[in-house]
Structure 1
Amino acid sequence: MKKLIMYGRRDCHLCQEMIASLQELQKQIQFEFEVIDIDSDPELVSQYNERIPVLVSATGKQDEICHYYLDDVALDAYFAKVR
């Protein structure tokens, strides 16, 4: 099963939009994603603060797929690479 991680925070409209886009995409493609609130970890705040939401692979070195908005082309390329 393909798995992704989305770094975000509460009360972030871009984060809510990316979550909704990912949930809609799950109707067509089978994958899981986990949402991690960066405010729970000072290191994550330091790393991602103003770039959220950030979507990364859940394996290996967590390669960044996209940030701010869901990039369908980048996500398709990632899924093609992990098949």
Structure 2
Amino acid sequence: MNNQVIPKKFLVYGREGCHLCEEMIASLRELQQKKQFELDIINVDNNEQLTQLYGEKVPVLFAVNENKELCHYFLDAGVVDTYLS
């Protein structure tokens, strides 16, 4: 039986020059030093669909493994801790 743990993965949908995006990404990078997860940053301005979907809502933290949004504007540490547990 294979008990391989699939690493948790986050996407941050954001844009350049967005201070809230920068804060969320910095907080996640800091958390990465304590907990194991993958993190990708997606610039919504590079994709018309993403701009329409997330344009006014950035940053959005998206949990890839569960295919759902966890939070937007600000990092919700409680939600992230629960997701990573």
TM-score w.r.t. length of structure 1: 0.89
**Structure 2 residue corresponding to 1:71, chosen from 65, 69, 76:** 76
Partner of 1:12: 18
CA distance in 1, matches of 2:29, 2:23: 10
Unaligned 5+ segments in structure 2 are: 1-6
User: RMSD of aligned C-alpha atoms?
Assistant: 1.0
Unaligned 5+ segments in structure 1 are: none
Identity of aligned residues (%): 47
2:54 pairs with 1:48: yes
Name the aligned partner's letter for residue 36 of structure 2.
Answer: Q
Residues 2-23 of structure 1, C-alpha deviation per residue, up to 9 Å, x if partnerless?
1110000000000000010001
**Structure 1 residue corresponding to 2:43, chosen from 37, 46, 51:** 37
What SS does the corresponding residue of 2:75 show, helix, strand or coil?
Answer: coil
CA distance in 2, matches of 1:34, 1:16: 13
CA distance in 2, matches of 1:22, 1:79: 12
> When you count helix as a share of all residues, which structure comes out higher?
1
Cα offset, 1:79, TM superposition: 1.8
